[in-house]
Amino acid sequence: MKARVPKNFGGGAPSNLQQLARQAQKMQEEMDAASNELETKEYSATAGGEAVRVTVSGAMEVKKIEIKPEVVDPEDVEMLADLVTAAVNEAIRAAATEKEEVMTKISGGLNMPGLF
């Protein structure tokens, strides 16, 4: 009994491989451009009923921390630290979530380690 080989099996492999490599390179370029664009965006989050507002960049760097004067209580510095921490974490989560959504959209959900 002979095994059947599909039509064009092996005949177009180099061409298909080159096409796949071009598509991967194009996807990488799109992801790099999107990543650069996202790094310039800013994300803000608040805590304590907007008593603390934190702004971070898409590169996950804290750009600005605003604290309403009425929240500053020398007797309760711990609460202020907690509010700042909460706002920073939320702003970073927002930046990371958008980056993940954009990259997933570009890659079509394909997860290739080392690609992004």
CATH superfamily of 13-107: Nucleoid-associated protein YbaB-like domain (3.30.1310.10)
* Residue of 96, 67, 93 whose CA lies nearest to 82: 67
Q: Is residue 110 over pLDDT 80? A: no
Spell out the domain ranges in the chain.
13-107
Distance CA 100, CA 95 (A): 9
Q: How much is the pTM?
A: 0.67
Q: What confidence tier does 55 reach under pLDDT thresholds 50, 70, 90?
A: very high
**Maximal C-alpha separation, the chain:** 88
Pick left, alpha or beta for residue 49 (phi over 0 → left; psi -120 to 50 → alpha; otherwise beta).
left
pLDDT tens-digit map of 3-53:
665 555 555 556 788 888 888 888 889 888 988 998 899 999 999 999 999
* Cα–Cα distance measured from residue 43 to residue 39, given in angstroms and rounded to the nearest whole number: 10
Helices (H), the chain: 13-40, 77-107
